[in-house]
């Protein structure tokens, strides 16, 4: 079994994917990127046994982050993978009932900066800052 830690970063903004991916790569994580929820879903299925974290934008074309997490849960995929959403505005429970998503750990509000992101990842046990 590999000791490589793998995350997937899903965001329709290439700049956000690149920035967040870079922060993980600096800490020796393997990073998979996807531009929307549909692509993310396929890549999650392809790497299911290696992923330790899903970082996904909430608002994206084709399939948003909430729809992606609900689809994974409905299919019983990635139940043990930690999930975090990126968003400009925290959706309320009427918009997206995140309480039902297995291993959903919270939101990171955009715009994100390295200090804020690292602090959240440290709190979740992924980074040692």
Question: Is 128 part of any domain?
Answer: no
Residues of the chain with pLDDT under 50: 1
Nearest Cα residue to 107 out of 68, 57, 69: 57
Neighbour-count burial of 40, counting CB atoms closer than 10 A to its CB (0-12 exposed, 13-18 middle, 19+ buried):
buried
Range of the domain at 72: 5-123
In angstroms, how far is the first alpha carbon of the chain from the final one?
Answer: 27
- Decide if 41 contacts 83 (C-beta within 8 A): no
Question: What total of structural domains would you count in the chain?
Answer: 1
Distance CA 125, CA 49 (A): 19
Question: Is 129 part of any domain?
Answer: no
pTM recorded for the entire structure:
0.93
CATH of the domain at 16: 3.40.50.2300
CA dihedral 128, 14, 110, 33 (to 10 degrees): -50
Question: Is 99 part of any domain?
Answer: yes
Q: What is the pLDDT of residue 1?
A: 39
């Amino acid at each position: 079994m590999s000791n490589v830690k793998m995350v997937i970063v899903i965001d329709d903004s290439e700049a956000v994917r690149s920035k967040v991916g870079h922060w993980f790569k600096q800490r020796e994580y393997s990073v998979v990127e996807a531009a929307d929820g549909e692509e993310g879903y396929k890549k999650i299925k392809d790497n299911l046994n290696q992923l330790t974290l899903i970082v996904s934008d909430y608002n994206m074309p084709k399939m948003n982050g909430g729809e992606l997490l609900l689809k994974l849960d409905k299919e019983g995929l990635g139940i043990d993978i930690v999930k975090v959403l990126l968003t400009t505005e925290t959706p309320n429970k009427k918009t997206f009932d995140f309480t039902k998503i297995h291993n959903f750990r919270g939101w990171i509000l955009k715009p994100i900066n390295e200090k804020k992101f690292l602090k959240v990842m440290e709190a979740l046990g992924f980074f040692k800052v």
